[in-house]
Amino acid sequence: MNESAWRIGKNIPWVVPWSEEEAFAVRESPIFPGLLELTQAERPGVGQPAPAGMNIMRQRLGVIEHRCHVCGEVTPANDRFLFPVVTGAFLKIPGGARYVSHLPPTHTACADLAQRLCPHLKSRYAKPVRFPHDNGFVSPERSAPENLRHVAERIALPGLVYGYYRVFGEGFTRLVRRLRHDQEPIRDGGG
Ligand SMILES: [Zn+2]
């Protein structure tokens, strides 16, 4: 596809990084006092998209402001969805484990598009789930995502913040565990 055929929010998600955004710097985190974080150039739509990753500036904005990862607009509380069965992970924290995710949410209309555009979401288990009332809290991600490993190696700053991720509450964590359990393929008992 030539670059003029790309339409952000229509056939390419808003969070996706572009080839002209391969410029990085380090700043003090505006959210986490005392921590340094990586910044990335923001020129969405310029050059070629790299759908496997996320521009870290848009990724953080998406997580903090509940912006839709497909179209970039703020999702209202009653139209905000996640794909927790096939994305995110469980993280041990004091007192238990919580579901965590670095993926921004989507609108319900955009969830449909996300499933068609994202290889990760093509799985038949990828059903959108309503975002919980309990927003949990946001934490700094200090390990570099796959598409930024080369930058991390060059900068070599231990403790540098890359993206942000959201730590969900106990109720949503239980729900995700149950949904994942329900999606386990039923094994043939054989004999
Ligand atoms: Zn949207």
Q: How many residues does the chain have?
A: 191
Q: How confident is the model at residue 184 (pLDDT cuts 50, 70, 90)?
A: low
Residue 191: predicted pLDDT: 40
Q: In the chain, what are the domain boundaries? A: 3-183
- Centre of ligand 1 to C-alpha 70, Å, is 5
- Centre of ligand 1 to C-alpha 72, Å, is 6
- Is the pLDDT score of 92 beyond 80? yes
What distance in Å separates the CA atoms of residue 167 and residue 151, rounded to the nearest whole number? 26
- Centre of ligand 1 to C-alpha 93, Å, is 31
Cross-strand bridge partners of residue 175: none
- Centre of ligand 1 to C-alpha 59, Å, is 14
- Centre of ligand 1 to C-alpha 178, Å, is 27
Residue 115 C-beta-side C-alpha neighbours within 13 Å: 19
- Centre of ligand 1 to C-alpha 109, Å, is 7
For 84-88, what is the mean pLDDT?
92
Residue 190: predicted pLDDT: 45
Summary mean pLDDT of the chain: 91
Other C-beta atoms lying within 10 Å of the C-beta of residue 35: 13
Q: What letter represents residue 165's amino acid?
A: Y
Residues contacting residue 22 through CB under 8 Å, at least 6 positions apart = 41
- Is the pLDDT score of 1 beyond 60? no
Residue 12: predicted pLDDT: 93
- Is the pLDDT score of 132 beyond 50? yes
Report pLDDT digits (tens) over 148-169.
999 999 999 999 999 999 999 9
**pTM for this entry:** 0.90
What distance in Å separates the CA atoms of residue 152 and residue 22, rounded to the nearest whole number? 13
Q: Evaluate whether 70 touches 13 at the Cβ level (below 8 Å).
A: yes
Residue 189 token pair? 């008992």
For 4-33, what is the mean pLDDT?
94
- For the chain, where are the E strands, in sequence order? 24-28, 36-40, 81-82, 89-93, 96-101, 129-130, 137-140, 164-167
Torsions phi, psi for 112 (to 5 deg): -60, -45
- Centre of ligand 1 to C-alpha 141, Å, is 24
- Centre of ligand 1 to C-alpha 124, Å, is 21
- Centre of ligand 1 to C-alpha 152, Å, is 30
Greater confidence (121 vs 162) lies with: 162
> What H or E segment, with its residue span, contains residue 141?
none
